Structure 1
Amino acid sequence: MRRQWTLGCWEKPRTVQDVLELVLRSRGLEANTFLRSDLSLLQAYLSFRGMDQAAELMARHIVGGSGILVVGDYDCDGITSAAQLDLFLRDIGHANRRVILPTRAEGYGVPDRAIQEASDCGLLVAVDCGTLDRDAVAAARQKGMDVLIIDHHEVVPDHLAPATVLVNPKHPDCPSSFKEFCSAGLTLLFLTRLRHALNGSHGHVPLDGRYLSLAALGTIADMVPLTEGNRILVAAGLKALNAEAHMPLTHLQRVAGLQGRVVKAGDVAYSMAPRINAAGRMGDPVQAFQLLTAQEPTTAQLLAEQLDRINSERQKGVARILQDVRTRIQTADRRTLVLADPSWNPGLVGIVATKVQQEMLYGPVALLGADTPEARVYKGSVRSVPGYDVHRALSRCRDFLVQWGGHKMAAGVTVEAHQVERFAQRFEEVAREAAADLFVPKGRIDLELDLDLVGEELYAQLSALEPHGMDNPAPVFWARDVVLEGVRTFGRNRAHLSFQIAGHGVPAVFWNGADSWARHLKGHSGPMDAVFRIDWDDYRNRPRLTLIDLFPEGLSVVPSQ
């Protein structure tokens, strides 16, 4: 799928110093505000509806010695949120606590067994779930428990759970100007207010690098925008990770092959977070929670190695499902895809849905699996594309859904087997009402760049824009009339390309570019236009180009909106 490219800034930089200024200008950002990432700036993000009441509620239960039950989701955001709360309660010496994480087989939300197993607790704290869990929360309240919910999923006002206090920036009455914190970030901010509410009764507990690194891990993994408060939090968390502030995560870094490297947001997203998520996807998320809260290095090392093995199995499962999808997919004249198979692991289909969007169909994708081959109910994941609110689309398909929930870009669904075709039809009909332009892949170039400017100085300048992620991607550049030399394939299945840029001596890679090269570019020896990022080559210890697209016919761009 070829992308449509837009150009953010038409002015071409003359010096290395011009590049950062023009990238910021192309994105409509001010250097003196965007480039600041002091932790003290998070103070401006504490005006959440219910935050102080939530802190006071939990403080009362702590001081009173109540049993406290923490329930998190089974993904990295939920697990890191639960781990932060458990660490805090451990740090202040509150032993009367327990943590329960649902399995994917139990489904999203507060599981029934949590209420049964912890009915003696006075407070239930639900993190990364709970907003719409009306039945479970009502059952807890009936047993005399207070319920505190810290969540970031979409709010449906008429379906809110009857919590004692709900903290969710997406609540229509929440005054917070920034709505995009995930639960790991919200939990860290909540702990600053809880510590204040305790007023020194349990000593001064530093919310140090352990908490910051966990909050950053959950934030990066949940793919929320890395802007404003999230950018500040992640920047601090990455510093803590690189300082090895939290021993369990140091062991996770080692099994992920990150030892001795400067860990960046992309390393967390592609190497660390998948190993945490693998536990919930393949079995029991408690294994990941045990790692994140481990106190002994030997225990942490064993658990990290265990998660690494689980992640390898996860990768094999994803490859099998992706191959199944390739043999079944029919995208002619369709904007959406819905496929179900009882042999697919429901914990893996979300990963496959994202890959399908990247390789086969740029549009909303819903893939459904089942807990057993004989199951009459499918569970699955839905992934959307920018600009298309899949949560709203699913609300219009609710007649065919047993359960659904999530946010604009991703959601989970449960569908009875006999309703899958009807759901697929309605899902497509709703997408047909949207603007056709939403379903064309697009890319945004920050500015045109002369390759003579590429070097260590430019790389250092651009590092000020990190951490990169959703809504703050790494800068993308365009160079005209480049000539490739020394092209060779490498990697598994010889899928990647490595080469030099003639006349510049700049090394470059084109990940998964071998197929495109063989089909479209191999016979072209003349100059081409290139779209690329500037990354660091650990092997050569110097900057390199990471190619995104090549255009032998020249690139035609249009202004960004």
Structure 2
Amino acid sequence: MIDAKKEWQEIELSENEHLDELIEETGFPKIVLQILMERGYDSLEAINNFLDPDARGLYDPNFMHDMELGVDRIQQAIMNGEKIVIYGDYDVDGITSTALMYETLEELGAEVEYYIPDRFKDGYGPNVEVYKRLIDEGVSLIVTVDNGVAGHEAIDYANQHGVDVVVTDHHELPETLPDAYAIIHPRHPEGDYPFGELSGVGVAFKVAAALLEELPQDVLDLVALGTVADLVSLTGENRILVKYGLQLLQQTMRPGLQSLYKVAGIEVPTITEETIGFSLAPRLNALGRMENGSLGVELLTTLDEERAEELAKTTNQLNIKRQEEVNKIVEEAVAQLANKSENHLVNVVAGNNWHEGVVGIVASRLVDMTGKPSLVLSIDEKTGIAKGSGRSIEAFQMFDALDSHRDILMKFGGHHMACGLSLDREKLSDLQQVVDEEGKKQGIEHATKPVVKVIPVNLDDVNLGLEAQLEALAPFGTDNPRPVFEFKDYEVNTVQAIGQQKNHLKLQLQSNNSQVDALDFGIGSKKISEIERNKNSVRLIGTLGKNVWQSRVNLQIMIEDILLDDSNTGTVVEIQRKNKLTKSMFQQQATYVFFDKKLYNQVMPYLADDSEAYLYNFSDDKKLNCDTLIVVDCPDNIEKLKSLLAKAIVKHFIFVGYTRENTYLNGLPTREQFGRLYKFSQTHTNVSIRRDLQKLADYLKLKRELLVFMINVFFEAKFVKIENGLMSGNTDVTPHNLEDTNSYQAYLQKMKAQKSLIYSKSTDLQKWILKYLDENN
């Protein structure tokens, strides 16, 4: 049974009395206008403003609290030749904010530098030690971007030493604000700015506009990057900034971005908000996670093409390294969870010297995989300190859960959905106990799934035209999600596992007039097997997209969630096909079946105590009735597996299919190869097969396994005689068709078995196995 990850909440699309009038006025189909109305755009003016956002919808930057005060101080510093430092952050919003402010102040003739904190040494936000060092170097004005509203200690130090700090930030405001010279923030409690959802780079853009007394359109590419990457609301001003910023990203003259496009394989005309979210932002974020975000500022601001290429390559390489680290830690973390004796409400995993820069990503992965809040920590083996990040679910207030247990923590900060923390590794068991207790108090064991709003639609009613019209709602993101549809009236034609690891799903959906591919990435091979077994029970929700291949454009569905609504899902067939066996593979509680006696005897000592093993026997009529049946090796005759399947009554069938010899790949010997062996045998006597087999194979230019087969055929045909391991040619040879020998026919059957069971498509083999299992299950 595959259950949905989310609760599908069907949207009741409005039948507003003005709907026909809006359709006529705008030219958009009914369903697009209904989506807009459901999102609160219920008049012609509101719809037009949303569909065609205009720069005239941007607010005067001077509406923002302390804007004039902060701008005057910056201008004073420029006029007086004071040394200014822009103090940024190491994520994409912070990098782009820093680059934007740096370019603006340079354009105004400022003596300006920038500083990006080191994630590992400095941490997030104003750091007293860094402020001390900057002030000692002669800085007299610090301008923060994308941070600062919680920097009390560092800002107090600056004040005590006669250095002013202008804070520009967008993060949650603490109860008490720092004593900065100016705090420019769209949600300042004493302000009344009309739009409070700007990103850090959005606030920096507003400061730049006030300083320049005009809209700095040439930095909108930076604004789009930071705004989309920071997952702020893509409505209001942000929608306007991102729309024009995306256009500039397609035309950017920045050598760094041009080089990054090249190494990332990005086609410039196709750049969208998804390009930022899935390609550009992860690469830029990797700099701060793996090394230092200052490289990102340099990449975005350099005019040196050679340096830009060098930085782009570094950025791409660090992102690959980041992916490798994440995958490694996820694998280890999942293994830890699997080995835990108790089923906890909250995941807590820790590992020695895990890379601190990626533990937050790993925590997010674990939330996606398990549906549980997750804390992932890296243990410093020298200090014994475990430092990490947490990611939560809607039903669990992570900050509240840990805030009252600071006695076991060294450092802690965060909000509802995420946190950062450190503690002594000896306290990890206490941490697990605490979060489980808090989870129980908050009732997360009874928590409902996250809700996703879906629009029911018949597959026949979706096409490339609708997909193109929905793109008018872009850029998509927070508060303006891509519309999700629940598709009706279709059948699943084919189920296919795709990707290098065969853990991505591709379905072909068929309706009366349509045939559409649907894709789900990272769903896992086990679920794909279940879907193949029960494809008539598939229900799915997803978004519309298009696939462009060799100038052909086809509609496709990106699956958001999937379920099998039939509780009787039958047997799950899993295809593993290993070319190497390890002891750990036999620790699963299961019934193991072997075809090879030697392998059976070798593996028996490693089986788990509660497992069973059988050496398969054709003549045994006993039914194999069990939960999990694992076929370890590949039979030398496909009829043996058919016979086994006819006797199996199982819930989970796993075909490992280990084989020592690649008979199928070795192929059949040619007449010329048989001829070489025959000629040799007739001219040599008493050749030691045991001692000189490899020498003979090398001499005859044959694979060792192939030579063994040929000698067996010759022996059966009486072309050679073998006594005490010594081979000689027979002088009295009777003509014989080699293909009629039992050895030849057995080899042929083994080739056919390997072709079907080892070298076929996994999905084809699953179908074949299910066909024979159907009669019993």
**Closer, same or farther in 2 for the Cα pair 1:535/1:489, shift >3 Å?**
same
Distance 2:198 2:280 in 1: 20
Matched residue SS, 1:229: helix
Counterpart for residue 150 of structure 2: 132
Q: Is 1:9 paired with 2:12? A: yes
Give 1:366-445 correspondences, 5 Å limit: 366-370=375-379, 372-386=380-394, 388-434=396-442, 436=444, 439-445=447-453
- The root-mean-square deviation of aligned C-alpha atoms, in Å, is 2.8
CA contact (8 A) 2:395 2:444 kept: no
1:105 maps to amino acid: F
Q: Please state how far the C-alpha of 1:188 moved relative to its aligned partner.
A: 0.9
Contact 1:337–1:365, Cα closer than 8 Å, also in 2: yes
Shift of 1:439: 4.2
Equivalent position SS for 2:434? helix
Contact 2:13 2:34 in 1 (8 A): no
- Name the structure 2 match of 1:558: none
Partner of 1:67: 83
- The separation in 2 between residues aligned to 1:226 and 1:389, in whole angstroms, is 25
Q: Does 1:99 align with 2:114?
A: yes
Give the drift of 1:552.
Answer: 4.1
Aligned to 2:182: 165
> Which residue identity is paired with 2:150?
L
- 1:18 matched to 2:68? The reply is no
CA contact 1:251–1:300 (8 Å) conserved in 2 = yes
Which aligned pairs between 1:271-310 and structure 2 lie closer than 5 A? 271-310=279-318
Tell me the amino acid that sits aligned with residue 469 of structure 2.
Q
Distance in 1, matches of 2:278 and 2:36, equals: 26
* Structure number with bigger Rg: 2
Distance 1:485 1:514 in 2: 20
CA contact (8 A) 1:344 1:369 kept: yes
**Runs of 5+ unmatched residues, structure 1:** 197-203, 556-561
Residue 376 of structure 2 aligns to a residue whose secondary structure is strand
Distance 1:489 1:253, change over 3 A: same
1:223-271 CA distance string (max 9 Å, x none): 2222222222222211111122533222222222212441111221111
Distance 1:283 1:465, change over 3 A: same
Assess, with a 3 A threshold, how the Cα gap between structure 1 residues 265 and 397 changes in structure 2: closer, same or farther.
farther
In structure 2, distance between residues paired with 1:193 and 1:45: 6
One of 526, 535, 548 as aligned partner of 2:536: 526
Shift in CA distance, 110/552, structure 1 to aligned 2, threshold 3 Å: closer
Q: Does 1:542 align with 2:554?
A: yes
After superposition, the Cα gap between the structure-2 partners of 1:429 and 1:27, relative to the gap in structure 1 and judged at 3 Å, is farther
Secondary structure of 1:37's counterpart equals coil
Contact 2:495 2:531 in 1 (8 A): no
Q: Verify the 8 A CA contact 1:476 1:532 in the aligned structure 2.
A: yes
Q: Report 1:161-560 matches (<5 A).
A: 161-196=178-213, 207-209=216-218, 211-329=219-337, 334-360=344-370, 362-370=371-379, 372-386=380-394, 388-434=396-442, 436=444, 439-503=447-511, 504-513=514-523, 515=525, 517-526=527-536, 528-539=538-549, 540-553=552-565
Q: Deviations over 1:43-100 (max 9, x none)?
A: 1676332222222221221222111011111111111111111111222232x21111
* Larger deviation, residues 176-185 vs 62-71: 176-185
- Equivalent position SS for 2:565: coil
Q: Which residue of 2 aligns with 1:54?
A: 70
Partner SS, residue 442 of structure 2:
coil
**CA 1:168 to 1:432, structure 2 compared with 1: closer, same or farther past 3 Å?**
farther
| Residue range with higher mean Cα deviation, 533-542 or 144-153 | 533-542
**Cα distance in structure 1, aligned partners of 2:60 and 2:441:** 39
Secondary structure at 1:156 match in 2: coil
Higher RCO (Cα < 8 Å, 6 or more apart): 1
What secondary structure does 1:105 align onto? coil
Question: How far did 1:448 drift?
Answer: 0.9
Letter in 2 for 1:6: Q
Partner Cα distance (1:432, 1:169) in 2: 37
Aligned residue type for 2:472 = A
Contact 1:530–1:549 (CA<8 Å) still a contact in 2?
yes
Contact 1:150 1:168 in 2 (8 A): yes
- Deviation, structure 1 residue 544: 1.2
Deviation digits for residues 177-204 of structure 1, max 9, x if unmatched? 53332211111112112223xxxxxxx7
Q: Distance in 2 between matches of 1:208 and 1:178?
A: 20
1:501 positional shift: 1.9
What is the CA–CA distance in structure 1 between the aligned matches of 2:328 and 2:133, rounded to whole Å?
A: 38
What SS class does the counterpart of residue 81 from structure 2 fall into? coil
Evaluate the alpha carbon distance shift between residue 125 and residue 428 of structure 1 in structure 2; reply closer, same or farther with a 3 A threshold: farther
Give the gaps of 5 or more residues in structure 2: 568-777
8 Å Cα contact 1:134-1:162 kept in structure 2: yes
CA contact (8 A) 2:224 2:245 kept: yes
Distance 1:545-1:69 versus aligned 2 partners, 3 A rule: same
Letter in 2 for 1:258: I
Three-state SS of the structure 2 residue aligned to 1:457 is helix
What letter matches 2:119 in structure 1? R
- Structure 2 distance, partners of 1:438, 1:18, is 39
What is the aligned length? 542
Q: 2:87, 2:527 → 1: CA distance? A: 49
| Per-residue deviation, 1:272 | 0.6
Q: Could you say which residue in structure 1 is the equivalent of 2:141?
A: 123
Query: Would the alpha carbon gap of residues 352 and 45 (structure 1) be closer, same or farther in structure 2, given more than 3 Å must change?
Result: farther
Q: Distance in 2 between the 1:488 and 1:223 partners?
A: 33
Distance 1:389 1:39 in 2: 38
